[in-house]
Chain A
Amino acid sequence: MGKQLVINDVTLRDGMHAISHQYSKEQIAELTRLLDDSGVDIIEATHGDGLGGSSIQYGISKETEDDIIRTAVENAKNAKVGVLLLPGVGTIEHLENAHQLGAQVVRVATHCTEADVSEQHIKAGVRLGMDTVGFLMMSHRTSPENLLEEAKKMESYGAQTIYVVDSAGALTMDDVRSRVSLFKQHLSTKIGFHAHNNLSLGVANSIVAIQEGVDRIDASLAGMGAGAGNAALEQLVAVMNRMGISHNVDLYKVMDAAENVMKPMMVRPVQIDRLSLMLGYTGVYSSFLLFAERAGKEYGVDARDILVKIAEMNAVGGQEDWIIGVAQDLAKEKQTKRGIEI
């Protein structure tokens, strides 16, 4: 039997995107209890864009940051509670506060080519004695070799685990294999992988990452997450059981939690549809889904065209404000075309 895989659940963090950051304290408490009881190792709970993320730009959280973290901490008996931090959005002060509230894991996230903005925050996590993770988002946007160079920076700052993060759900299985295997060969840290299911590869990519030797995998109940969601925890556990991969999660418990509790909470079904598929196809940050959908309706343009344009502009995670401008431009173009036809 191999080593035990660590499952980092993201239902309460990535899942925030899918519910526009509107989980109530009661929902957070219930989901935390179910996840904790199922055996997941880490429960990440924050605004979808991490500490300090509650904003007009990304969506205002229903509950305060303190209440989200505190509720998760109070209801997790065995699992550690984690937080996400994007430098530029959250600050070290936010992190110190989260730590004081009982968060034990911090994942410091940057765009895949900008690891050097994470130095202060990774060092702060280490100084606080937290389980400190480097999280390289939009990993499809750079080559495996470049990604490794960025990972090495995070390693030098003291990150104990470094993730290949497929924020756009755009990596195929070979793309995952090449990135994870390079990390495995050249990093002395632990390694993790975070999937999105936009191309229907969430579980498959996670399994490839496990085969290449990752120590941690992200998943969420019924895939609750941005875009078409993450790797669905119950599906991943079923596959891992069939493949004899060792982990701590109870299959029936996560099946029941996904079916009885998670799915009824969803506002927009977390699924592969033409728009979430388009995220993976064009390589756009998954949390842009609801913003593009709304802008498409408001300006009378095809939301898929918005995503194509946003991909061409190379928008990175956190640039939701570019969507309205693109929708306005597309609407103008449409009007001019119509004018010419008349």
Chain B
Amino acid sequence: MTQRKVKCAIIGSGNIGTDLMYKLLRSDLLEPSVMVGIDQTSKGLALAKEYGLTPVYNGIEGFKAIHEEADIVFEATSAKAHLTNAKILKELGKKAIDLTPAAVGPFIIPSVNLETSDVTNLDNVNMVTCGGQATVPIVKAISNVVNVSYAEVVAAISSKSAGPGTRQNIDEFTVTTAKALKEVGGAKESKTLIVLNPAEPPVLMRNTIFVKIDEHSEELYIKIRESLDQMVEVLQEYVPGYRYKSEPVFKGDLVTVQVEVEGMGDFLPKYSGNLDIITSAAVRTAEIMAEAMNKEVEING
């Protein structure tokens, strides 16, 4: 049986939107059909045209005119823009996958809650932040074994991979990530810190996750380690460059895990693992939606 590819539009022609396009071009289930921007001279739109997507230069208004060319819409603009666009997309009957910290829809971390979230029936889902995609699974892996009273994340990303969107919304990044550590990761309390590092050559995205656990023993440590290893494997299925930076450290009630993310080098160089992890998560989510849509077609057809 050959599968029908579900058509996708990308709103936003910046770093995230363009990286997303490359990943969609490789998908067996999805086909990028439209890229929506507001800048005639955008590099992303030029590339989109080259790869056969329909470029739209006048934002969401332009998309309205050709909205039938896509069923799933990725939002890769800003939280503020998505608050407006979310309504329009809903009216147009599109499924929105939001890569901004707007958090209109529920948080999706594919390795943790994609299967249980019933995304096929949701019209808007939120991909948290790159930091959230990289660290919530680690906290969840631990909270699956033992109660987590507190989770703290320190995300270090290279200055070069932090675009103006991230820089102007740094509070949203820390607040949204911290919220997801609780809501999806299962921590009772949480905190997120982000540091931009300008070193040359740029550093890979690196996250330190401190987790306070309610009880501890050698036996629990072994179980936690197994749970962590499993989670890292699941993540590696859709983010191959995700790995431990150093061995997890167990000390009393504190578990410290350091991970780094090497990107696939699609649009930006490999140091931009922070872009890869969120775009890969978004594509994974869309693929699950697409599978369900295809099934519906089979049943109805």
- The interface of chain A, by Cβ under 8 A from chain B, is 52, 55-57, 87-89, 91-93, 111, 113-114, 116-117, 119-120, 313-319, 321-322, 324-325, 328
Contact = CB atoms under 8 A, between A and B. Distances in A.
Contact of A57 (B175, B193, B196): B193
The 6 closest A-B pairs by CB, nearest first: A314-B199, A321-B208, A56-B210, A88-B194, A91-B171, A318-B195
Given A89-B193, A314-B198, A321-B208, A56 B152 contact: yes
Contacts of A92: 171
A238 to B, nearest CB: 38
A56 B208 CA distance: 11
Contact of A87 (B170, B210, B258): B170
A54 B254 CA distance: 16
Which of A55, A56, A93 has the most C-beta atoms of chain B within 10 angstroms of its own C-beta? A56
B185 to A, nearest CB: 16
Interface in B123-167: 152, 154, 156, 159, 164, 167
B152 A57 contact: yes
Given A317-B195, A324-B249, 7 more contacts: A57-B193, A57-B208, A88-B174, A91-B171, A91-B175, A111-B198, A316-B196
Which of A55, A113, A119, A321 has the most C-beta atoms of chain B within 10 angstroms of its own C-beta? A321
Given A55-B193, A113-B159, A321 B258 contact: yes
Interface in B75-132: none
A242 B167 CA distance: 46
A316 B156 CA distance: 10
Given A116-B167, A325-B246, A314 B194 contact: no
A314 B193 contact: no
A80 B220 CA distance: 51
A315 B168 CA distance: 22
B253 to A, nearest CB: 11
Given A91-B174, A325-B246, A328-B246, A55 B196 contact: no
Nearest to B175: A91
A119 B212 CA distance: 34
B168 to A, nearest CB: 6
Interface in B251-274: 254, 256, 258
Interface in B215-263: 245-246, 249, 254, 256, 258
B54 interface: no
A325 B164 contact: no
Nearest to B200: A314
Contact of B198 (A52, A316, A325): A316
Given A319-B195, A325-B258, A120 B156 contact: no
Contacts of B170: 87-88, 117, 120
A321 B191 CA distance: 15
A322 B175 CA distance: 23
A111 to B, nearest CB: 7
Given A91-B174, A117-B170, A313-B199, A325 B210 contact: no
Contacts of A313: 199, 203
A319 B174 contact: no
A117 B258 CA distance: 25
17 contacts: A55-B191, A57-B210, A88-B174, A89-B193, A113-B159, A114-B159, A114-B196, A114-B198, A116-B167, A119-B168, A314-B199, A316-B197, A321-B156, A321-B258, A324-B246, A324-B256, A325-B258
Contacts of B196: 88, 111, 114, 117, 316
Contact of B193 (A88, A113, A116, A315): A88
B195 A117 contact: no
A33 to B, nearest CB: 32
A305 B164 CA distance: 36
B246 A120 contact: no
Contact of A325 (B168, B194, B245): B245
Contacts of A88: 170, 174, 193-196
B211 to A, nearest CB: 9
A314 B154 contact: no
Contacts of A57: 152, 154, 193, 208, 210
